Structure 1
Amino acid sequence: MGKILIIDDEEDLVALLKDSLERKGHTVLTAYDGAKGAELARQQPELIILDIMMPGMDGYEVCRKIRDIVLCPIIFLSAKQSEADKIKGLALGGDDYVAKPFGLKELLARVEAHLRREKRAIFLNDAGKRVLLHFKNLTIDLKSRRIYIHNEEIMFTKREFEIIELLSLHPGQVFSKEQIYEKIWGYDAEGDCSTVTEHVKNIRAKLAEFDHDTEYISTVWGIGYRFNRIIQ
């Protein structure tokens, strides 16, 4: 079951949705204003239900604020029913738009459909390749070649990212320094596998800066390195 964030200033509606979703086994986070919702979005829910018309920071602004760091589907709720409003919501990064008043069963069905679709998308794209990898607080976006910890993007060099990609696609598997060098630099590259040690050292330092409590890459002494299977 998924972790779902509801952001809406109508407390009765939030209570109804929360109760209905929890009965289906979901974990539900709630916020009654945009600022709190943007803060809770950093907990990386699997789906967000977002009202547009809220005092202060409205749903459009919330979506704009969180879209670059939140990869999950966003379902807009709104009493606004014009085509222009729907287009604006989708253009800002929303995945669906449900007009108020709405049928509870229909909304719940849409939630489940998005969660099923997202579950597939986390691992596969249209070509059957993985696009997103999650390890505890770490998210690796293979498509955009970006890496996040606690929703904060960490900058890596091309070679550093390629090493992370190689290891994370095979968690638990040990790669020797020679294997890593050959796969990343190529058989004909001028240099030696000692450069792998320096690159892994830099990778670890960058990861530790954002999450010093978790060891994502372990050294297997006398052999090489392994990406650890860490599920939150």
Structure 2
Amino acid sequence: MANETILLVDDEEDIISFIQDALELEGYRVLTAGSGQEALIQSKQQPSLIILDVMMPEMDGIEVCKQLRETTQCPIVFLSACQGEVDRIKGLAAGGDDYLLKPFSLAELKARIHAHLRREQRIHTQKEQGLLRFHALTIDCKGHAVSCNGHNLPLTNKEFQIVELLAMHQGQVFSREQIYEKLWGLDADGDDSTITEHIKKIRAKLAAHAQNRSFIQTVWGIGYKWDPQ
């Protein structure tokens, strides 16, 4: 995937140099940042993917990710020496798409980068066509309709918007609060617990035709993500 731009964020110069050299040999354009503030500035260049260290002074990677998610939807891959499950959950809850532990295999990092960029390219192409396809499920963004195995699913407007939001950001975890704010707005008077009820209804409608594929996966303690597997 030559010519894609990757933003590499780490406060350790040796790691930046090591990864940058490897990625540039693969044909990627690499932007670098040694701090969270610098990362926010560099992100304005709209990178295709961001590699983000967790343990940084002043502003750690979790906080950087939260702020990045206000302006960018590209994949974010965390690099971290923190091996606990709680740390990985925090990373996903902040809006990260992947979490790779230090020390890491360079070959694995490159493979994950390629996989994320390939997925983004596929989704971008589908968005331009107005259709998102996942096995037997088709989401018609322009027609505001969802069908599965030839059957149209009777989704309400909000149910469709939830499906569309999750499907367009496959693999990214959204909390109930994030989904509610994106669909109802920050000033809406209501309770984000309504998201749970909407998800239940969507799953019930999918179950009738999706042959045991739920598509919407619960990430315990965080929220929901789209997982067609």
Return the TM-score normalized by structure 2.
0.55
Cα distance in 1 for partners of 2:64, 2:71 equals: 12
Q: How does 1:38-117 map to 2 (within 5 A)?
A: 38-117=40-119
CA distance in 2, matches of 1:96, 1:89: 8
Aligned counterparts of 1:37 and 1:130: Cα–Cα separation in 2: 33
Q: 2:223 matched to which residue of 1? A: none
Q: CA deviation at 1:128?
A: 6.3
Listed as ranges, the gaps of 5+ residues in structure 2 are 127-131, 143-163, 166-229
Identity of aligned residues (%): 52
Letter in 1 for 2:121: K
Task: Please give the TM-score of this superposition, normalised by the length of structure 1.
Answer: 0.55
- For 1:59 and 1:78, the matched residues in 2 are separated by 9
Larger Rg over CA atoms: 1
Which residue identity is paired with 2:74? C
Q: Is the 8 A contact 1:77 1:100 kept in 2?
A: yes
Instruction: Give, as a single letter, the amino acid of the residue that structure 1 aligns with 2:99.
Output: Y
Give secondary structure in 2 for the equivalent of 1:29: strand
1-structure distance, mates of 2:100, 2:72: 20
Q: Distance in 2 between matches of 1:33 and 1:87?
A: 22
Report Cα offsets for 1:122-175 as digits up to 9, x if no partner.
2323336579xxxxxxxxxxx56xxxxxxxxxxxxxxxxxxxxxxxxxxxxxxx
Superposed structure 1 runs of 4+ greater than 2 Å apart: 125-131
SS state of the match for residue 37, structure 1? helix
d(CA) in 1 for partners of 2:125 and 2:63? Answer: 29
Q: Secondary structure at the match of 1:50?
A: strand
Matched residue count: 133
Q: 1:53 to 1:120 in 2, by over 3 A?
A: same
Cα distance in 2 for residues equivalent to 1:19 and 1:130: 40
Read off the aligned partner of 1:14 and give its amino acid letter.
I
Task: Give the root-mean-square deviation of aligned CA atoms.
Answer: 1.6
Corresponding position of 2:225: none
CA offsets per residue over residues 86-133 of structure 1, 9 Å max, x none?
0110111100000111111111111111111111112323336579xx
Q: Give 1:118-157 correspondences, 5 Å limit.
A: 118-124=120-126, 125-126=132-133, 127=138
Unaligned runs of 5+ in 1: 132-142, 145-232
User: Secondary structure of the residue that 1:93 maps to in structure 2?
Assistant: coil
CA distance in 2, matches of 1:37, 1:118: 21
